[in-house]
Amino acid sequence: LRRRVFTKFWTEGSSGGSGLGLYIVGGLTRAHGGHVSIGAATGGGARISVTWPGEDRRG
């Protein structure tokens, strides 16, 4: 289920979202050499982690 949140137009439940937010975050993060992941948060829910490269990769 966690992997699916990064796909285009994926929604769960009746929250009324378009399903594009995390799809866009995932694409932009990868395009800039970063990594995004989703895991369990302490106390329930989800924790989204974004890691950016430590150096400027524009060359």
Give the per-residue pLDDT at 57: 64
Q: Show the tokens assigned to 47.
A: 């924790």
Residue 59 confidence (pLDDT) above 70: no
Q: How far is CA 21 from the centre of its chain?
A: 8
Mind listing the pLDDT tens digit for each residue in 4-51? 787 887 777 666 677 788 889 999 999 989 999 999 999 988 899 999
Q: 13-52 burial by CB neighbour count: b if 16+ within 10 A, else e?
A: eeeeeeeeebbebbeebeeeeeebebeeeeeeeeeeeeee
Contact present, 54 and 42 (Cβ < 8 Å):
no
Give the per-residue pLDDT at 9: 78
